[in-house]
Structure 1
Amino acid sequence: MSSPMISLKSLTSTTTMNQLLATAKSGACASSSCGSPAKPEDVDSATWEKIKDHPCYSEEAHHYFARMHVAVAPACNIQCNYCNRKYDCANESRPGVVSERLTPDQALRKVIAVANEVPQLSVLGIAGPGDGCYDWKKTKATFERVASEIPDIKLCLSTNGLALPDHVDELADMNVDHVTITINMVDPEIGAKIYPWIFHDHRRFTGLEAAKILHERQMLGLEMLTARGILTKINSVMIPGVNDEHLVEVNKWVKERGAFLHNVMPLISDPVHGTYYGLTGQRGPRAVELKTLQDRLDGGARLMRHCRQCRADAVGLLGEDRGQEFTLDRIPGEVRYDASKRETYREVVARERGDHVTAKSEAIGMVKAAGSSGLLLVAVATKGGGRINEHFGHAKEFQVYEASAIGINLVGHRKVEQYCRGGWGEESTLDDVIAALEGIDILLCAKIGDCPKDQLTEAGVRVTDDYGYDYIETAVSALYAAEFGLEPLAATA
Structure 2
Amino acid sequence: MSAPIISLESLASASSMEALLAKAASGGCSSSSCGSSAKPDDMDPAVWEKIKDHPCYSEEAHHYFARMHVAVAPACNIQCNYCNRKYDCANESRPGVVSEKLTPDQARRKVIAVANEVPQLSVLGIAGPGDACYDWKKTRATFEEVSRDIPDIKLCISTNGLALPDHVDELAEMNVDHVTITINMVDPEIGTKIYPWIFYRNRRYTGLEASQILHERQMLGLEMLTARGILTKINSVMIPGVNDEHLIEVNKWVKERGAFLHNVMPLISDPAHGTHFGLTGQRGPKAMELKALQDKLEGGAKLMRHCRQCRADAVGLLGEDRGQEFTLDQIPEEVTYDPSTRESYREVVARERGDHVAAKQAALSTVAETEATGALLVAVATKGGGRVNEHFGHAREFQVYEASPKGIAFVGHRKVDQYCMGGFGEDATLDGVIDALEGIDVVLCAKIGDCPKDSLSTAGIRATDAYGYDYIETAIAALYAAEFGLELLAESA
Task: Quote how far apart the aligned CAs of 1:19 are.
Answer: 1.7
Rate the CA distance shift 1:176–1:491 in 2: closer, same or farther, 3 A: farther
Change (3 A) 1:287 1:96: same
8 Å contact 1:359–1:492 — kept in the other structure?
A: no
Gaps of 5+ in 1: none
Tell me which residue corresponds to 1:433: 433
Q: Which residue identity does 2:290 align to in structure 1?
A: L
Q: What residue is the counterpart of 1:213 in the other structure? A: 213
Give the partner amino acid of 1:368: A
The Cα shift of 1:22 comes to 2.7
> Is the Cα contact below 8 Å between 2:89 and 2:95 reproduced in 1?
no
Q: How much does 1:36 deviate?
A: 2.4
**Alpha-carbon distance in 2 for matches of 1:285, 1:237:** 10
Q: Distance in 1 between matches of 2:79 and 2:436?
A: 30
Q: 1:333 to 1:33 in 2, by over 3 A?
A: farther
Matched, 1:36 2:13: no
Asked whether the 8 Å contact 1:85–1:129 carries over to 2, the reply is: no
Structure 1 segment 402-421 matched on structure 2, within 5 A: 402-421=402-421
1:218 and 1:88 map into 2 onto residues whose CA distance is 22
Partner of 2:224: 224
| Residue 461 (structure 1) aligned with residue 478 (structure 2) | no
Map of 1:188 onto structure 2: 188
Shift of 1:17: 2.2
| Cα distance, 1:297–1:89 mapped onto 2, change above 3 Å | closer
CA distance in 2, matches of 1:191, 1:491: 56
Q: CA 1:29–1:48 in structure 2 vs 1: closer, same or farther (change >3 Å)?
A: farther
- Residues of 1 paired with 2:340 and 2:311: CA distance? 28
How many angstroms apart in 2 are the aligned matches of 1:300 and 1:88? 31
- CA–CA distance in structure 1, aligned partners of residues 440 and 491 of structure 2: 22
Shift in CA distance, 297/378, structure 1 to aligned 2, threshold 3 Å: same
Q: 1:490 to 1:347 in 2, by over 3 A?
A: farther
What is the DSSP-based 3-state SS (H/G/I as helix, E as strand, rest coil) of the residue aligned with 2:319? Answer: coil
Matched, 1:382 2:390: no
1:338 CA drift (Å): 0.2
User: Structure 1 length as normaliser, TM-score?
Assistant: 0.95
- Contact 2:306/2:412 (<8 A) preserved: yes
Offset at residue 163 of structure 1 (A): 0.1
For 1:162-186, what per-residue CA distance to the aligned partner results, in whole angstroms no more than 9, with x for missing partners?
Answer: 0000000000000000000000000
> Which residue of the partner structure matches residue 312 of structure 2?
312
**Matches for 1:288-307 after TM superposition, within 5 Å:** 288-307=288-307
Per-residue CA distance 1:56-93 (angstroms, 9 max, x = gap): 00000000000000000000000011112445999x96
Distance 1:29 1:375 in 2: 32
Check conservation: 1:179, 1:231, Cα contact below 8 A: yes
The one-letter code matched in structure 2 to 1:208 is L
- The 8 Å contact of residues 388 and 467 in structure 2, kept in 1 or not, is answered as yes
Measured in 2, the distance between the counterparts of 1:4 and 1:430 equals: 33
Number of residue pairs the alignment of both structures matches? 490
Aligned to 1:10: 10
The aligned residue for residue 151 of structure 2 is 151
Contact 1:85 1:96 in 2 (8 A): no
Contact 1:88/1:99 (8 A) holds in 2? yes
Q: Distance in 1 between matches of 2:133 and 2:195?
A: 18
Deviation of the 1:304 alpha carbon: 0.3
Equivalent residue, structure 2, for 1:132: 132
Counterpart Cα distance in 2 of 1:266 and 1:490: 42
> What is the identity, as a one-letter code, of the residue corresponding to 1:343?
E
In 1, are the aligned partners of 2:88 and 2:96 still within 8 Å (CA)?
A: no
How far is the alpha carbon of 1:270 from its aligned partner? 1.5
The answer as to whether partners of 1:359 and 1:471 remain within 8 angstroms in 2 is yes
Assess, with a 3 A threshold, how the Cα gap between structure 1 residues 166 and 95 changes in structure 2: closer, same or farther: farther
| Pairwise CA distance, 1:98 | 3.8
Say whether the 8 Å CA contact 1:177–1:231 is kept in structure 2. Answer: yes
Q: Structure 1 residues 338 and 457 mapped into 2: Cα distance closer, same or farther (>3 Å)?
A: same
Q: How far has the Cα of 1:392 moved from its partner?
A: 0.6
Question: Cα RMSD (Å) of the superposition?
Answer: 2.3
Cα drift, residue 15 of structure 1: 5.0
The whole-number CA distance in structure 1 between the counterparts of 2:302 and 2:140 is: 29
| CA spacing shift, 1:274–1:142, aligned 2, 3 Å | same
Matches of 2:491 and 2:385 in 1, distance apart? 16
Compared with structure 1, are the counterparts of its residues 87 and 197 closer, same or farther at alpha carbon in structure 2 (3 Å cutoff)? closer
Name the structure 2 match of 1:242. 242
Deviations 1:370-404 (A, max 9, x none): 22111010000001000000111110100000001
Conserved? CA contact 1:252–1:301, under 8 Å: yes
Superposed counterparts of 1:24-423, under 5 Å: 35-37=36-38, 39-86=39-86, 94=94, 97-423=97-423
1:369 Cα offset (Å): 2.9
8 Å CA contact 1:4–1:470 kept in 2: the answer is: no
SS of the residue corresponding to residue 129 of structure 1 reads: coil
Q: Is the 8 A contact 1:381 1:392 kept in 2?
A: yes
8 Å contact from structure 1 (residues 84, 96) kept in 2: no
**Secondary structure of the corresponding residue to residue 236 of structure 1:** strand
Counterpart of 1:337, as a letter, is Y
SS at match of 1:293: helix
Contact 1:178/1:232, CA 8 A, preserved across alignment: yes
Q: CA deviation at 1:324?
A: 0.3
Contact residue 88 and residue 94 of structure 2 kept, 8 A:
no
CA distance in 1, matches of 2:95, 2:75: 14
Letter in 2 for 1:327: T
Q: Is the 8 A contact 2:99 2:129 kept in 1?
A: no
Deviates more, 1:417-426 or 1:11-20: 11-20
